[in-house]
Chains A and B, each alone.
Chain A
């Protein structure tokens, strides 16, 4: 039973570059969540989708961040242009109703 799959696992890039993080949720889950985890702020929800529709993007830090879910099996989180303060571990999670969210193993992003 495949869990939530994220790619890449690690990304190192220079500031100003575009970064795209990818997520494949668990089949059958209708909600998808993007989180960011840092030492300073802990685990923060950035945005979540229900049935591929963005429901709450109030956690997206600024316009440089965007997320899409073109279908039930794929989502992207894009940062353009990237900045050093975006360095963090980004997690994708999926779930359904009153069931616990299942997390991927994250993308560790370093912006130089």
Chain B
């Protein structure tokens, strides 16, 4: 029979546009959050992180926003490129313990 798997949310953007990937986290006590990018056949790769005492952090072409009131995390990618196509995961942790991963969002960049 046909197997049923996770249906990842998909975001499709045009090359050069900005992308916003959203994530709802589960534990209001979580104090450290990480965004990972996973390309096909590879392990998750660290992109950017943020601690709970901050609400915004910027990297190169990426920005993470944290809204603790509604337990929401977002990743913004500026000037999205074809090489940004991947699955993006948010992860949360409390006091440096185990990471809890979200289900992931698939980003597809159209040239």
Contact = CB atoms under 8 A, between A and B. Distances in A.
Interface of A: 4, 33, 38-43, 45, 48, 56, 91, 93, 97-98, 100-106
Given A39-B6, A103-B43, 8 more contacts: A43-B89, A93-B44, A98-B51, A100-B46, A101-B99, A103-B36, A103-B44, A105-B43
Nearest to B4: A40
Contacts of A97: 96
Interface of B: 3-6, 32, 34, 36, 41-46, 49, 51, 89, 96-101, 103-104
Which of A42, A93, A100, A102 gathers the greatest number of chain B CB atoms within 10 Å?
A: A100
Given A39-B5, A42-B104, A56-B98, A106 B43 contact: yes
A18 to B, nearest CB: 24
Contacts of B44: 43, 91, 93, 103
A48 B98 contact: yes
A43 B100 CA distance: 9
B43 A91 contact: yes
Nearest to A58: B98
A40 B96 contact: no
Contacts of B34: 100-101
Given A42-B101, A43-B101, A100 B49 contact: yes
Nearest to B5: A39
Instruction: Tell me which of A38, A40, A43, A103 has the highest count of chain B C-beta atoms within 10 A of its own C-beta.
Output: A43
Contacts of B3: 39-40
